[in-house]
Chains A and B, each alone.
Chain A
Amino acid sequence: MIHIDVTKRLLSADGAIILRVKLDIERHDFFTFFGKSGSGKTTTLRMLAGLTHPDDGEIVVDGSVWYSKEKRINVTPQHRTIGFVFQDYALFPAMSVRKNLEYASNKNQKRVEELIDIMQLRALEHSRPHQLSGGQRQRVALARALIRSPKILLLDEPLSALDSEMRTSLQNEINQIHSSFGLTSIIVTHDIAEIFTMSNKMVLFDNGTVSKSDSPDMLLGNKLSSKFRTVGKVVSIAKSDIAVVVTVQSGINLIRVVVDPEESVTLQPGQNVILAVKAFAPSIIVLNKC
């Protein structure tokens, strides 16, 4: 279990704020840090990795103290068992994909081969990072972060620079890795859809205060009891005499729904929304495997 109870002075767009984080993250949780820019999400992730020093408090992971102001303990990043995936991938430009993994592996060739296969990097192993697409780079970054078999995976907006198709496919891959490697994962994201797809717990960062953690449904979904639900963005709102047709983009799908004119007043194009449908008799069609 990860116990974080730290404070850190931050300079945000609104001036200096004191970030206070008090969180307990259970083993095997997939946790999301959500909030606006400058609210301290990445800083908290970095404090956990040992890349930024808290001003006060303590960080305890599975009973061992990683940071304690009082006891003057600050375990270096090298000795914290974490995998960190950076927003800009941070692949070493002078090394090939294979060399990036070997550098991290401490000569454990078996592990390198294993991760090259799991992350499907065999065809790319001799390429340099600048020859790869964004999605490929992120897969290499993920493989490299996992090579030392960390117990905790920290992901700092790992998919923000990718298109929606690549994003969805990587979300699935990360989910599978999280389960099969038995990881405790923490992701920083701005994407509401990503929260629902990936994490079981989340916490909101708001101007330095970090509210109680809970499931995404409880914190963002207003306790909906719908059977079907998707997250998307309002693309257009077309008004007619008696109803309003709202088009919502969810992934690569465009969904048109009829909305009460009164209800549509609160909607604007570009807004992130949850689309919930109560279906009593859904059609279920089995797709044949190709």
Chain B
Amino acid sequence: MVIDFLPLILSFKLAVICTVVLIITCIPLAYWISSSTTFVKMIIRSLAMLPLVIPPSVLGFYFLILWSPFSPVGHFLETVFHVRLVFSFTGLAIALSVAGIPFMLNPLIAGFESLPKSLREASLTLGKSEWETLLRVLLPSIRPSLLIGIVMTFIHSFGEFGMVLMLGGKIPGKTMTASIALYDHVESLEYTMAHIYAGVITISALLSLILLFLINSGAVIRKHRY
């Protein structure tokens, strides 16, 4: 029996890319949402929550339609940038990043909202810019929330199935992720291989969660030791 590691490596690569993309984009977005009082904030917050409540296959379907070479957007991407996002690794990475927004954004917003406003204001009166305040004062103060966001986004992107199947198909080395490979082996009644993929996904998710709680409870213990 030869184990094909390619789907696992592909899933890992996708999860790392999505997590990095969402760390960079969601930190300023969460900060803005938590400090803004405008109506636009409510709309953007609702939109950002949408991937959490609609099935991944539905989201994948809309991406498929949007990026199809027959749609204006897909046609534009193909003729101007010579890029086709359907059935491609890049397309999957973008779609999975969108689907992962709530997993990163929610804990970050909760973290920022739990901080007293005076921290930001104190930093401003000390002559610091909003960016410096965000990166040097506020973000280090919500480290546990950031860690929750990173782990949840990573686990979600690593194991996502419905959207990948809808949008990526199952091209080995390109879009055949671990979840798709698992489904493929079950369909072919190859249960030993299916067990290996399912086991790796479950154990890596469990280990990530244990690591998360260990680090965060360590932080809590340190905080209350004195």
Contact = CB atoms under 8 A, between A and B. Distances in A.
A265 B119 CA distance: 48
Given A77-B121, A83-B125, A90-B121, A131 B226 contact: yes
Interface size class of chain A, counting residues whose CB lies under 8 Å from the partner chain: 20 to 34
B192 interface: no
Contacts of B124: 50-51, 76-78
A66 interface: no
Nearest to B122: A90
B156 to A, nearest CB: 27
A144 interface: yes
A130 B127 CA distance: 24
Interface size class of chain B, counting residues whose CB lies under 8 Å from the partner chain: 10 to 19
B126 A148 contact: yes
A99 to B, nearest CB: 10
A88 interface: yes
A86 B121 contact: yes
Contacts of B226: 130-131
Interface string A45-85: 00001110000000000000000000000001111101110
Contacts of A104: 126-127
A86 B122 contact: yes
Interface string A79-117: 110111011101011110000000110100000000000
A79 B128 CA distance: 10
B125 A84 contact: yes
A244 to B, nearest CB: 46
A82 B129 CA distance: 16
B140 interface: yes
Contact of A88 (B116, B136, B137, B143): B116
Contacts of A148: 126-127
A102 B141 CA distance: 17
Nearest to A156: B118
A90 B118 CA distance: 6
A90 B121 CA distance: 9
B141 A93 contact: yes
Most buried by A among B116, B127, B136, B143: B127
Contacts of B143: 94
A94 B126 contact: no
B82 interface: no
Contacts, number: 65
Interface in B116-162: 116, 118-119, 121-129, 136-137, 140-141, 143
Contacts of B118: 86-88, 90
Contacts of B121: 49, 51, 77, 84, 86, 90
A104 B137 CA distance: 11
A76 B127 CA distance: 9
A88 B129 CA distance: 22
Contacts of A130: 223, 226
A85 to B, nearest CB: 9
A103 B137 contact: yes
A284 B62 CA distance: 89
Contacts of A76: 124
B219 to A, nearest CB: 10
Contact of B126 (A88, A93, A103): A103
Contacts of A92: 119, 122-123, 137, 140-141
B73 to A, nearest CB: 41
A124 to B, nearest CB: 12
A72 to B, nearest CB: 21
A111 to B, nearest CB: 13
Interface of B: 116, 118-119, 121-129, 136-137, 140-141, 143, 223, 226
28 contacts: A49-B121, A49-B125, A50-B124, A50-B125, A51-B121, A77-B125, A79-B127, A82-B125, A84-B122, A84-B125, A86-B121, A92-B122, A92-B123, A92-B137, A92-B140, A94-B141, A94-B143, A95-B137, A95-B140, A103-B126, A103-B128, A130-B226, A131-B226, A144-B122, A144-B126, A145-B125, A147-B126, A148-B127
Q: Which 6 A-B pairs have the closest CB atoms?
A: A94-B140, A90-B122, A90-B118, A104-B126, A77-B124, A84-B125
Interface of A: 49-51, 76-80, 82-84, 86-88, 90, 92-95, 103-104, 106, 130-131, 144-145, 147-148
Given A88-B116, A92-B119, 16 more contacts: A49-B121, A49-B125, A76-B124, A77-B124, A77-B125, A78-B128, A79-B127, A86-B121, A86-B122, A103-B126, A103-B136, A104-B127, A130-B223, A131-B226, A145-B125, A148-B126
